[in-house]
Amino acid sequence: MRFSVPDKNRCACAPGWYDKYCGLRGCMPPNEDHVNIDLRSLIIVFNTKTSMKSQMTKDANGVYDNWIESFIVYGFVNVQSQLIVQSKFMYSADDVVNFLNSFTLYDGDDTQPVITAVQAAQQTFPKQRSHATVLVFTDSPSSDATPWSHRFTDQNPEQLVLQISLLWKSRYTFFLSLPAGTDYTSNGVDVYRRLALTNHGDTFFIQDINDFTKVLLSVIGSQYYSENVAVAYGKTDDETLTTYVDNEGDIVYFLITIDPSTSKFYQFSKFQAILILESTLPTMAGVNLYADGPSYRVSILKVSYILSAKFQLYTRPSKIGDTVTISNTPGSKYNYRMFLQSKRTLMIFYNDDMYIDVGNGMPVIGVGMSATMQTYNFPDFESSSYELRTFDGRFLREKIYSYVRPQLDCTFLYGFPSWDSGNCPPGPATSVHVFYYNGYKQQRVSTAYCITSNHNPQDTYFHNILKSPQDIYSMAREKHELQMVNEISQDDVLQCKERSIDAINDPRLKEAKQLIFILEQHMDNAQIYKTLAKEINQIIYLTNATNADTFDWEFTLISHDSAESHVILSAYNPIDFGEKFQKFVTNLQLLNNLDNTMGLLSIVQAQKITLRPTAQVYYFTNQAVKTVQNVARTWDIVSRNMEVNFITIADGVTTEIFALPKELELIQKMTNGRIIPITKTETTLLPLFGDMIGVTALTTDNEQYVSQFQTSKIFQQTIIQNCHDTPLVINGFFEDGADYSVVQVVGTGLKTFQMQDSNGAIVGVTDYITYQNPNFVSMRVDKSKFASGVWKISALTATGGCQITVRHRTTVGMLLGFTSSNTDDATVTSQIITQRSKLDSLPLYAAMKVTDGIIPTNLEIRELSLKRVLEMITKFPEIVNRKRYDQPQSYTNSTVIQRDSNSCTYNLLSESIVVPKNELTTWTVTAYNTAGKLLLHRIFYYYQHLPSDASVCHGGETDKFGRCICPYMYTGEYCWDRLCVPPAT
């Protein structure tokens, strides 16, 4: 969808679009490799008829390729209604020439499906870049052209090709060597003119091979980073243009062409024909002729060289504010483009909702249209504006000024207020963009297309069936309150009012499908990053990410320093990701004395760009980094869609191996993540990743950090232990049926660690160690050799506290969520349970879905009191922050009952429970089979705002139950999910 390029089971998206099928439109942090406009594609669409032979070997010669990352050659010909295609994706101009020389030519039909070929050339190769230059070569009218229509729901080939160019920002140039007697008014020819003017491209009428060569070398060869400053098509009067340059003395180009609708071919003999122009080319004074032909003239404002014969192109050195006049002959019709060679460009998209990040290039007539914009390589400007003009330059709409959008982490930083599109005539339009600096301006133009639609704001869905969109919210709220009052007794079989369809195949029930690497740009991490780059392809190989038919994973790279965080790269193709990862990480700028970072923003970005939950995040941080900057948002809302693991790199000074900024500690716990201390000279990380990728089922998490034996008023006669005077001994939970188990132990100077299975058999830990350093050990246990159930595990350290965790790789997936009604299947599965603190005893239910037919029997809630922790830290300052997670107190146990599985996706439900008034709580779900074997033991951590915090809600309001009150057209727990007006999705 969205004119993406199919790639196995995935789609390569146009800039700004995301997701498996390119359907996400909400704010996402920019995938910087995806929107890198410095490297582009050159696409050659060649009609492989025998009559085109003379043009075949010239196509790539003389074209600058320093701006081209890739080439696409798409040869096509229709022979007696049979389409023959010869196409290839390449990376060098030499390969292009060789491929063109290998073409087989055919005696094709008189008309050819040219427009369909232009579409196919841009929808075949998923590695193509945006902002492509598309060169189309044919000597035939287009057989698939239809009358010009501005209702894009007609979906004819011309409209499809236009929409591709509007999304992918490609530009079309047509080289037409049409036979004598061709009717230029026919749709088969006029379609080329229409596409060129809509696309801000060009049409050249070729007479012979010399004409063709000079156009290709002089005109196309001079357009590598071609940025249009002013355009108009079908002009009949004089035009005075103001020049805009990036720097004084830059070359400004003027390309003038004759409108082809005023041209006719006349044939004198079987072998000789001539193009007779009913219009004549305008003239320009004060510019230098660069090249011209019978149907075009190009001028520049700085003399480079002058070609003789029939071709002219003008140049002149220029500065901002110069003016140049195009003088036309009365009765003649012409087109012009004024352009620069510049990397300063922009992307703008139109939409009807500023909470949507990306739209398209088509304002819908009759709908209030906003716009989002992103600029590239421009110096910081004071303000910017855009206005709309018709394709021939007539004024359509006054200037509208941009503003910085309030949403952070959007691909498109700037927004424009809504305007009434009712006065926009159907068809092509031009957006004129002005950037204001201190004392001067810069200008660009971009394409637009005002379309009519089969749908409008008077759609009967909202205006006949419902009185207003707010009714959706009101009806949902009334239904919810009714369920709370009319709950079915738990003595009966519980049935749900409406089944949760999304949860049936929730991806979180299966293994992780996305790896996200967050790299802190600390100089002392250099060796670790070198090791990571060296092994990245082997690490990716552990995921089994692709086969002949599918791409199953997503891979992301994020980096940050003390000022910024960037999503450098996100890709579904593991080979592409590995190659680019090595390049980016090798060139990553690392900084000394980095002790305060934008790590929280990186985590927020990771959460937003999680496309394949559950994502496993690997955050590399140096222990020298003591603080992370708040990002002016509720950073503690962490989605259940990701697991954040912190790999802490020793700085040689910090002795506390668990040292993390407190915000990161909380995130690690809430997401069931890991803390893994490593040295800064590790030469391999592959075994460590082998024990983490896909191993997400947390069954055991015990910590002990206090270092005193103390009698205190808070704990009365509490014995406070550490891990170095006596070993920490815990119960470790090993599920029956797991593929394997990973036991990880963290402690300063690990001395001994021992394990004993549920039958008392001693486990030889040294036989299962996969990765070890002085403060950390990871063991992968082959459970087929030992009994499942409750094991005994112990650890002894040289000093301080320690942590022991057990995780499984298993096919058994589980979702835990919450609802306020025992008949409600619309279950909240995000981080914050619900904000229940405004009423003391408001119950809720824990709803569960477990795969493989496993039925949990017990739910335990344990409280982790931050207040108590703060009291302890005040009393004992040497205790680290992680004491907040040490030895939680049991709060309550609840039995789990079954609901009707036909009407409830979450078919398992706890008793009515009251959540303890603690910020952080632990929820443990357990299941045994009839033989007493442990089938399930899963741990989840949840955070609550106390008191309830309206700032987490889009709209900033909560009701008496602490639930967010959603504004118009929004839904979801925090009201960030957009409701679409049908038929939009």
Query: Is residue 489 situated within a structural domain?
Result: no
Tell whether 860 and 944 lie within a shared domain. yes
CB-based burial label for 24 (10 Å; 0-12, 13-18, 19+): buried
What CATH number should be reported for the domain holding residue 62?
3.40.50.410
**137, part of any domain:** yes
How far is the CA of 106 from the CAs of 47, 212, 733, in angstroms?
Answer: 10, 21, 71
Contacts of 671 (CB under 8 A, 6+ apart): 617, 638, 640, 642, 643, 644
Whether 366 is covered by a domain: the verdict is no
Backbone angles phi, psi at 595, to 5 degrees: -115, 0
Three-state SS for 483? Answer: helix
Helix (H, G, I), strand (E, B) or coil at 507: helix
How far apart (Å, rounded) are the C-alpha atoms in residues 970 and 980? 9
Sheet of 908-910, strand order: 814-819, 845-850, 908-910, 889-898, 858-864, 920-928, 934-943
Q: What is the structure's pLDDT at 444?
A: 97
What is the distance between the alpha carbons of residues 26 and 67, in angstroms, rounded to a whole number? Answer: 31
**Quick one: which of 689, 685, 791, 688 has its CA closest to 738?**
791
pLDDT in tens, 192-224: 999 999 999 999 988 888 888 888 888 887 787
Query: What CATH number is associated with residue 411?
Result: 2.60.40
Q: Which of 181, 203, 224 is the last residue of a domain?
A: 224
- Closest by CA to 65, choosing from 224, 253, 251, is 224
CA distance 949 to 463: 35
Q: Is residue 315 part of a domain?
A: no
Number of domain units in the chain: 5
Could you list the residue range(s) of the whole structural domain that residue 915 is in?
Answer: 814-978
Q: Domain for residue 3, yes or no?
A: no
For residue 491, the 8-state DSSP code is: T
368 strand-pairing partners = 420
Which CATH number goes with the domain that contains 788?
2.60.120.380
**67, 215: one domain:** yes
User: Are 610 and 742 members of one domain?
Assistant: no
Residue 243 within a domain: no
Sheet strands side by side (includes 202-205): 82-90, 68-79, 40-47, 133-138, 171-176, 202-205
Are residues 597 and 736 located together in one domain of the fold?
A: no
What is the rounded distance in angstroms from the CA atom of residue 317 to the CA atom of residue 812? 70
The rounded distance, in Å, linking the Cα atoms of 912 and 824 is 13
Whether cis (ω within 30° of 0) applies to the bond prior to 614 is: yes
Q: Does residue 202 fall inside a structural domain? A: yes
Task: Say how far apart CA 809 and CA 814 lie, in whole Å.
Answer: 13
Dist. CA 564–CA 569, nearest whole Å: 15
Q: What one-character-per-residue DSSP string does 129-191 give?
A: -SS-EEEEEESS-BTT------BGGG--HHHHHHHHHHHH--EEEEEE-PPTT--TTSHHHHH
Are 904 and 885 within 8 A, CB to CB? no
Residue 969 buriedness (CB in 10 A; 0-12 / 13-18 / 19+):
middle
- Could you tell me how many residues make up the chain? 985
Same domain, 90 and 201: yes
Are residues 791 and 838 located together in one domain of the fold? Answer: no
> What is the model's pLDDT at position 864?
62
Please classify residue 94 by burial: count the beta carbons closer than 10 Å to its beta carbon, then call 0-12 exposed, 13-18 middle and 19+ buried. Answer: exposed
- Tell me whether strands 383-390 and 395-401 are parallel, antiparallel or unpaired: antiparallel
**What pairing do the DSSP bridges indicate for beta strands 675-678 and 642-649?**
parallel
Same domain? For 448 and 546 the reply is no
Strand residues in 217-322 grouped as ranges (E): 226-235, 239-242, 253-258, 263-267, 273-277, 283-284, 288-293, 296-300
Angle subtended at Cα 581 by Cα 577 and Cα 585, rounded to the nearest 5 degrees: 170
Half-sphere exposure of 152 (CA within 13 A, CB side): 20
- Do 741 and 846 reside in the same domain of the chain? no
**Identity at 867, one-letter amino acid code:** K
- pTM for this model (two decimals): 0.88
Are residues 830 and 756 located together in one domain of the fold?
A: no
Residue at 296: amino acid letter: Y
Of 433, 452, 471, the one marking the end of a domain is 452
Asked whether residue 534 falls in the same domain as residue 612, the answer is: yes
| Average pLDDT, 10 consecutive residues per value, the chain (985 residues) | 89 90 84 91 95 69 67 97 96 91 94 98 96 96 95 90 94 93 92 95 88 83 87 94 89 84 51 56 84 72 32 59 89 90 93 81 89 95 96 92 85 92 90 94 95 56 36 42 43 82 90 96 97 98 89 96 96 96 97 91 91 94 91 66 95 78 88 94 96 96 67 45 88 96 95 96 95 96 92 94 94 90 81 50 82 94 60 43 58 91 94 79 93 95 74 78 76 68 45
Of 805, 665, 797, 828, the C-alpha closest to 732 is 805
Q: Which one of 778, 810, 842 terminates a domain?
A: 810
Q: How far apart are CA 788 and CA 419, in angstroms?
A: 66
Looking at the structure, tell me whether residues 689 and 823 fall in a common domain.
Answer: no
Same domain, 72 and 168: yes
Q: Is residue 111 part of a domain?
A: yes
**Which residue's structure tokens are 């599920």?**
735
- H or E segment at 390? strand 383-390
Residue 332 is predicted with a pLDDT of 87
